[in-house]
């Protein structure tokens, strides 16, 4: 389906609970809203922000996580006040809550839910414990998350999240109130099916970036890391690898709690968090983007940005990253958590600039074929059409 094939402009209510620290998920939401508006659709927004949490008691936040009366009221009123064809939810934790699905269902409006992380399977959202992959709660009542205090080291908060999942599974919320789920990769789709979401209603639509111009030609050197400096991103692995590389330049764009691990290492330049324009400029000058994550990444937007810039990616052979980076074609894969293997891959890239340049060309081609705004819009329009058909089939 192309933009010209769309039967009519749709009226979409986009729902998103913004994080306290702006991140890739927030950027994806903004890009998708802009794409819909450019394509002629009317977009209304229902937003909550986690900055609200500091102004209310902990017990109220816990209660809201299970069911937000405010969200149910606000969304019901928004749907009554203006005709809406689709409710598209992104993050609903903790202030929006699953009550949004019930409000839309009562109004007869189908819901599309994008699965940016693994929150519906794992209270901690990353399937990670002690910097190791953990799937103990996948397909099970997630009581283990409370025992291990998986969310922010708090048994109480982890228990609230586990309770939310258990409650809404029992109520059939995730089974009956959502028309279409959007996974970001085939790996993610398989994992959500394993966790109990309805297989017949999960579609795959990757993230995208609108960067149509060709990257400038010119010499490339050194490596680039872009993202939050936190344990799940493999910062300690990168730090160990950097120490093995005898001063090979590594530029680090980002900030976070693990930043100290990279301080003082020869060849490592800490740039801090950069605006997107400067990130793109860094991507145009680097030899490869390094993605040493130790968790199942949903779909890092930085990978799409790198491909659009003709920048090959050195990534962990893990989850969706193994699916997105074709070893020896659009980048290199190394074993997750293995600093020696990462250093070896980076050293090979440093010694083979011509081969890395070829991989960059193929990465750019992969972007043009799979991750542009136009191809993403076609997929999103098809998902919306299917959601509308499900409403008709249900007699709404």
Note the pLDDT of residue 139. Answer: 95
Give, for all 396 residues of the chain, the pLDDT tens digit.
Answer: 444 454 589 999 999 999 877 888 999 999 999 999 999 999 999 999 988 988 889 999 999 999 999 999 999 999 998 899 999 999 999 999 999 999 999 999 999 999 999 999 999 999 999 999 999 999 999 999 999 999 999 999 999 999 999 999 999 999 999 999 999 999 999 999 999 999 999 999 999 999 988 999 889 999 999 999 999 999 999 999 999 998 899 999 999 999 999 999 999 999 999 999 999 999 999 999 999 999 999 999 999 999 999 999 999 999 999 999 999 999 999 999 999 999 999 999 999 999 999 999 999 999 999 999 999 999 999 999 999 998 765 555
pLDDT score at 396? 54
pTM of the model: 0.94
- Assess contact for 117 and 125: CB atoms under 8 A: yes
pLDDT at 393: 59
- Tell me what pLDDT residue 291 has: 98
Domain 3-208+373-393 CATH superfamily: Glycogen Phosphorylase B; (3.40.50.2000)
Q: What is the pLDDT of residue 132?
A: 94
- Domain limits, the chain: 3-208+373-393, 223-370
Give dist(CA 156, CA 153) in Å, integer. 9
Main-chain phi, psi angles of 253, to 5 degrees: -105, 110
Number of other residues whose CB lies within 10 A of the CB of residue 3: 12
Q: Give, rounded to a whole angstrom, the gap between the first and last alpha carbons of the chain.
A: 25
CATH architecture under which domain 223-370 falls: 3-Layer(aba) Sandwich (3.40)
Within the chain, strands assigned E span 11-18, 42-49, 86-89, 111-114, 128-129, 132-133, 180-183, 202-204, 223-226, 250-253, 268-272, 288-291, 313-316, 331-334
Residue whose C-alpha is closest to residue 252's, from 225, 292, 212, 283: 225
3-208+373-393 and 223-370 agree in CATH topology: yes
Confidence at residue 152, expressed as pLDDT on a 0 to 100 scale: 93
Listed residue (315, 152, 142, 126) closest to 224, CA to CA: 315
Q: Give the SS3 label for residue 10.
A: coil
């Amino acid at each position: 389906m192309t933009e010209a094939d769309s039967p009519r402009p749709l009226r979409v209510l986009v729902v998103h609970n913004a994080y306290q620290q702006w991140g890739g998920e927030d950027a994806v939401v903004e890009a998708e809203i802009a794409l819909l508006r450019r394509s002629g659709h009317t977009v209304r927004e229902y937003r909550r922000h986690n900055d609200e949490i500091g102004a209310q008691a902990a017990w109220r936040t816990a209660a809201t996580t299970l069911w937000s009366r405010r969200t149910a009221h606000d969304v019901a009123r928004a749907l009554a006040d203006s005709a809406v064809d689709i409710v598209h939810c992104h993050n609903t934790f903790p202030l929006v809550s699953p009550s949004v699905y019930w409000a839309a269902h009562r109004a007869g409006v189908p819901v599309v839910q994008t699965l940016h992380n693994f929150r519906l399977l794992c209270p901690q959202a990353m399937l990670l414990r002690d910097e190791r992959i953990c799937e103990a709660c996948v397909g099970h009542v997630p009581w283990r998350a409370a025992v291990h205090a998986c969310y922010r080291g708090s048994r109480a908060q982890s228990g609230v999240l586990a309770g939310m999942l258990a409650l809404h599974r029992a109520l059939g919320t995730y089974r009956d109130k959502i028309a279409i789920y959007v996974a970001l990769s085939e790996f993610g789709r398989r994992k959500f099916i394993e966790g109990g979401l309805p297989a017949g209603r999960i579609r795959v639509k990757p993230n995208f970036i609108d960067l149509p111009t060709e990257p400038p030609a010119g010499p490339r050197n050194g490596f680039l890391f872009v993202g939050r400096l936190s344990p799940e991103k493999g910062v300690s692995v990168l730090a160990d690898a950097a120490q093995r590389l005898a001063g090979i330049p590594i530029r680090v764009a980002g900030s976070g709690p693990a930043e100290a691990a990279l301080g003082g290492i020869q060849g490592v330049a800490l740039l801090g968090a950069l605006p997107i324009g400067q990130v793109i400029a860094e991507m145009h000058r680097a030899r490869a983007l390094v993605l040493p994550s130790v968790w199942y990444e949903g779909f890092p937007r930085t990978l799409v940005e790198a491909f659009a810039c003709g920048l090959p990616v050195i990534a962990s052979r893990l989850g969706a990253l193994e699916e997105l980076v074709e070893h020896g074609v659009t980048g290199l894969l190394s074993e997750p958590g293995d600093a020696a293997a990462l250093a070896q891959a980076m050293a090979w890239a440093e010694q083979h600039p011509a081969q890395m340049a070829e991989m960059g060309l193929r990465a750019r081609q992969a972007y043009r074929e799979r991750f542009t705004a136009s191809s993403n819009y076609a997929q999103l329009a098809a998902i919306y059409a299917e959601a509308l058909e499900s409403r008709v089939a249900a007699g709404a």
